[in-house]
Amino acid sequence: MSTKICPHCGAEIDSEAARCYNCKNWLEEISTNTNDKPQEFIPTLLFAYFWGIFGIHRFYTGSIGIGVAQLLTFGGCGIWAYADFIMICFNKFKDAQGRNLRNFDQNIGVVAFVLSLIPLVIILFLITTVVGLLAVAK
Ligand SMILES: [Zn+2]
Does 86 lie in the same domain as 57?
yes
Please tell me whether residues 57 and 116 are part of one structural domain. yes
Task: State whether 7 and 59 are in the same domain.
Answer: no
Q: How far apart are CA 2 and CA 7, in angstroms?
A: 16
The residues placing their C-beta within 5 Å of ligand 1, an ion, are 6, 8-9, 11, 20, 22-23
Residue 16: what pLDDT? 85
Instruction: Give the distance (Å) from ligand 1 centre to CA of residue 21.
Output: 7
Per the structure, the count of domains in the chain is 2
State the distance from the centre of ligand 1 to the C-alpha of 48, rounded, in angstroms: 45
**How far is ligand 1, taken at its centre, from the CA of residue 15, in Å?**
12
Q: Judging by beta carbons within 10 Å of its beta carbon (0-12, 13-18, 19+), is residue 26 exposed, middle or buried? A: exposed
Domain assignment of residue 16, given as a range: 1-30
Same domain, 55 and 106: yes
Domain identity same for 23 and 85: no
32 Cα to the center of ligand 1, angstroms:
22
> 28 alpha carbon to ligand 1 midpoint, in Å?
12
Distance 119 CA to ligand 1 centre (A): 59
Span from the CA of 20 to the centroid of ligand 1 (angstroms): 5
Same domain for 23 and 46, yes or no, is no
CA of 26 to the centre of ligand 1 (A): 8
pLDDT tens track, the chain, 138 positions: 688 888 889 899 988 888 889 998 888 755 455 557 899 999 999 999 999 999 999 999 999 999 999 999 999 999 999 999 999 999 999 999 999 999 999 999 999 999 999 988 999 999 999 999 999 887
In one letter, which amino acid is 56?
I
Same domain, 74 and 112: yes
Residues 22 and 90 in one domain: no
